Structure 1
Amino acid sequence: MEAGTIVGLLADPARLRVVAALALGAGTIEEVAEASGLSLKDVALAARRLARAGLVHRDGHTLALHTERFAEAARTAAAQAPPPPRMSADPAEDAVLQTFVRDGRLVSIPAQHSKRLVVLAHLVHVFEPGVRYPEREVNALLAAWHPDVAALRRYLVDEGFLTRQAGVYWRSGGYVEV
């Protein structure tokens, strides 16, 4: 069964409640109705649809969730997913960036200095060389990456990626394409 099919089945609130009740230990139509707050008729209809799709085993009033189908679908979907785009040509740097950057956001600031340098070198590219930025604009650009803009700003200055003078910042480090 495909992950998309499972998601489609669970998009229905009644079927989702039935699956949740079964996952939490309900084993009969009556127990599912009690746990889910649904009527016996609604549970029976949802259970019939889930059984036809192979997610639920139904034997009279007894129901059992085929939890292994969820794991199988997840493994299949993961195997079919395209690899994430590379963020660096260097495999070691790319591994660090894949760990700390998700969907264009920094999930956490690396504690290890060498990893933090890789992330900062990637992050500094939001600043154009030769452009001067007031602190408010630096904060806005960094907030798109991570909520702790003060820490990022401090690290970028301390590591020489940005220079600060009189509340104005400019890019002073990092690789620049020419």
Structure 2
Amino acid sequence: MTDPTSEALTGLTRPGMGTENAGPALRALTTMVRPRTVVEVGAGSSTLHLLLGLRDARAEAARDRRIVNGGTTAHERASVLHPRSAVDDYAPRLLVVDDISVPGTSADRVREAARDLGLDDMLTFIERDFFALTEEELDGWGPLDLVWLDAGTQGDDAAFLTSLWPRVAPGGTVVLHEPYLATTVETADQRGQTRVAARVVPTPLLQELRRQAAAPDSGMDVLALNEPHKHRQTGLLLLRKHAAWERDRGASFAEELKALGETGSTEPPRLGPPRTPRRSGAEEGADRVLAALADATRRTVYSAVVLLPDTAQGVGERLGMSAERTAKALAALEKAGLVTRTESGWAPADDIWREVSPRRAQPPARTTIPARRGKRRVFLENLVQLFEPQRRYPESAVNDLLRDTDPDVAALRRYLVEEQLLARADGWYWRP
């Protein structure tokens, strides 16, 4: 017996066109997110997949509505449903924009296929160039729950997003096709010889969106799904706009696990590479001093100034050095903070050594770790001053710093990490 759905999809799909995974994924995603308004730019076989997903979602929503209203008994299903499932009828719609200008596509046949399958009641086909639509027409669509972009170039996709993203509803999703592209890149081997090689790389759009999503309060998630066995028609790119209820609550991972009653490890996962510690002013000053004194001429001039402050001419005459070399060395030493000008000439700047010398905080007097959390927090905030901000310490160094406070260094380490006063990853500790 012939399956009308399979037959319709076969009529819209060319063998080898590369959408064999993207289409079913769109159908499943549509059923999962249960959108009310879906927009597709670029009609084709994906149009039918979206309509089939909406059909499945509509049927599932009708069943859920009967369960929540008590018309059907299904206790396990009822236990997972949100009460709002019974508030309104679910009447989804798909708006498809395509000017049918690309030859060889199935865009001009999707309306007939939808009609044959009885899905055309959810379909509105807008046979226009997307960029010819007015702002008023776009606003008339209302909030968009799901957008599928499968037409045009990288620049076109950027323009689609610029126009549609502000209209995407909170919690809504935008899906784009082919987040990776095949190109040629120039590579160099260990001997420095270059060669041209074929590579599949993230598209410029994917790179840009990842940068934007990494910014604090970006309000969106980015997920790229790759098909590693292909170099064209590769995967899907999903962008999801955060809803208001997804805002950061401000509490730490450990605090929220405790509030949920979970026991055991309360350390958050550290998935990225360890952050490069930010250098302190003392460390940067020490680098300048070392760089200045790495030159033999500067060391000689600095020694002469330390032994006897003098004018540049006097320093040069004592060293048998030309006025140009002496002046150049003194300028570099002054920039590093090692020497300073006075009314009588050049003198050593002794403060620089106090600024760049390493400091170790004095440990608190040996005491007992407070049992009450409030007092323990104050105790730990004083204790963490032993650690320089952003400097990375191996566990042995942490133990050495803590041992003068209490012999139970393991407990102190654990408390400092739990209170997020120290961070830990791969055997290293640092004070954020």
TM-score tier, shorter chain, comes to: 0.3 to 0.5
Structure of larger gyration radius: 2
TM-score, normalising length: structure 2: 0.18
TM-score, normalising length: structure 1: 0.40
Q: Name the structure with the higher helix share.
A: 1
Does 1 or 2 have the higher relative contact order (CA < 8 Å, sep 6+)? 1
